[in-house]
Amino acid sequence: MTRGLVSLVGAGPGDPGLFTLRGRQRLRKADVVVYDRLVDPRLLDWAPARARRVYVGKACGAHAMTQDEINCLLIRHAQAGRRVVRLKGGDPFVFGRGGEEALALAEAGVRHEVVPGVSSAVAAPAAAGIPVTHRGVASSFTVVTGHGGSGRAPVDWARHARGADTLVILMGLAALPGIARELIAGGRAPATPVALVRAGTTTDQVVLTGTLADIAARAAAARLEPPVLILVGEVVRLREQLGVRRRSARRAALARARAGAGRLVGAAAAPRGHGSEKED
Ligand SMILES: C[S@@+](CC[C@H](N)C(=O)[O-])C[C@H]1O[C@@H](n2cnc3c(N)ncnc32)[C@H](O)[C@@H]1O
């Protein structure tokens, strides 16, 4: 084992106020910070000014670095005795390839740890006012990727249609028409409520609701862009009952101004955890 340490740190779902205290401790002592696309840049301010900041994000079709290159980078810095913070959106082990990075570090004999983060899988629904479980409505939820492809097995939507009460689908926006079609073919009622949460927990949060039958058309009309989480199930109806209302443009502008002013903790948080949002 080397003297260096790699901390795989979950950056949370977007609102910097949802970053963990331990993550902040690790950032404060970092020599190198290696960060992804969905990480709020304000988090980097916690690292010392002298710390190296390396962006390795992956946007559609534009990869700053391959996964192998990222693994090598982490190993190289740790072997040089540095404290490396690998900052990943949400939780590092939820569709974040954190497991692959941890395995590569273990194989290289590099000291490492995982600092869990708040996953968008639960935070984005909560910020939109939708509990993923609710007594008498949903007693189970599944978190599933919206796309197979690139070496992965195709998603068995027929199985998920008959599975958990609530489906939380990450990375599913591009495949939404097919997902909705296959869930209906698998047995979910076309009238099943669906919510799309874009940039959940942030001041840019957008929530769009519909049903399995019409959500793809609604999403296309709204021209939503990633990151978007898809929520399927009766729990979506609770949003109305919980009284989540459209926030005025003025309040949204105020929230943005506060966030822009650089207050880190809670800067982007809106009252009751609901970000500013537009609804159809
Ligand atoms: C590669 S996965 C990483 C998930 C992350 N590790 C987590 O635990 O949240 C990226 C996907 O997560 C979802 N996502 C991440 N942040 C989000 C947010 N703030 N609002 C809605 N969806 C989000 C989107 O589906 C996005 O395509």
Pocket test for ligand 1, best of 19, 229, 232, 277 (most atoms within 8 A of CB): 229
State which ligand 1 atom lies nearest to the alpha carbon of 88.
6
Residue bearing the CA closest to ligand 1, atom 7 = 90
Residue bearing the CA closest to ligand 1, atom 13 = 170
CA pair distance 167, 155, nearest whole angstrom: 13
Q: How far is the CA of 3 from the centre of ligand 1 (A)?
A: 33
Pair of tokens at residue 278: 């537009």
Q: What is the pLDDT of residue 243?
A: 76
43 has pLDDT over 90: yes
Residue bearing the CA closest to ligand 1, atom 2 = 95
Q: What is the pLDDT of residue 269?
A: 36
pTM to 2 decimal places: 0.87
CA pair distance 175, 226, nearest whole angstrom: 12
Site residues for ligand 1, CB cut-off 6 Å: 13-14, 38, 89-91, 94-96, 119-121, 124, 170-171, 197, 199-201, 226-229
CA pair distance 48, 165, nearest whole angstrom: 45
Q: How far is the CA of 268 from the centre of ligand 1 (A)?
A: 17
Among 98-112, 142-156, 180-194, the minimum mean pLDDT is found in 142-156
**Could you tell me if 112 and 6 are in contact, meaning their C-beta atoms sit under 8 angstroms apart?**
yes
**Could you tell me if 206 and 198 are in contact, meaning their C-beta atoms sit under 8 angstroms apart?**
yes
Q: How far is the CA of 86 from the centre of ligand 1 (A)?
A: 17
**Residue 14 gets which letter from DSSP?**
S
The number of helices, as runs of H, and strands, as runs of E, in the chain is 9, 12
State which ligand 1 atom lies nearest to the alpha carbon of 14.
19
228-232 and 193-198 strand pairing:
antiparallel
Confidence grade of residue 256 (pLDDT, cut at 50, 70, 90): low
Pocket test for ligand 1, best of 40, 170, 173 (most atoms within 8 A of CB): 170
Q: What is the pLDDT of residue 77?
A: 97
CA pair distance 114, 90, nearest whole angstrom: 13
Q: How far is the CA of 134 from the centre of ligand 1 (A)?
A: 22
pLDDT in tens, 210-242: 999 999 999 999 999 999 999 999 999 999 888
253 has pLDDT over 80: no
Question: Mean pLDDT, to the nearest integer, of 261-277?
Answer: 34
| Domains along the chain with CATH numbers | 5-118 (3.40.1010.10), 121-241 (3.30.950.10)
Which of 252 and 274 is assigned the larger pLDDT? 252
Q: Is 58 one of the catalytic residues?
A: yes
Question: Mean pLDDT, to the nearest integer, of 30-58?
Answer: 95
Question: Mean pLDDT, to the nearest integer, of 187-194?
Answer: 98
Q: How far is the CA of 18 from the centre of ligand 1 (A)?
A: 14
Residue 34, SS3? strand
Q: How far apart are the first and last CA of the chain?
A: 55
Confidence grade of residue 197 (pLDDT, cut at 50, 70, 90): very high
**Could you tell me if 34 and 85 are in contact, meaning their C-beta atoms sit under 8 angstroms apart?**
yes
Q: CA 132 → CA 30, 94, 140, 170, distances in Å? A: 35, 16, 8, 14
State which ligand 1 atom lies nearest to the alpha carbon of 172.
25
Task: Tell me which of 15, 40, 45, 58 is the catalytic residue.
Answer: 58
CA pair distance 263, 238, nearest whole angstrom: 32
Tell me what the pLDDT averaged over the chain comes to: 88
Q: How far is the CA of 45 from the centre of ligand 1 (A)?
A: 22
Task: Tell me which of 36, 40, 91, 204 is the catalytic residue.
Answer: 36
Q: CA 17 → CA 117, 204, 266, distances in Å? A: 12, 15, 4
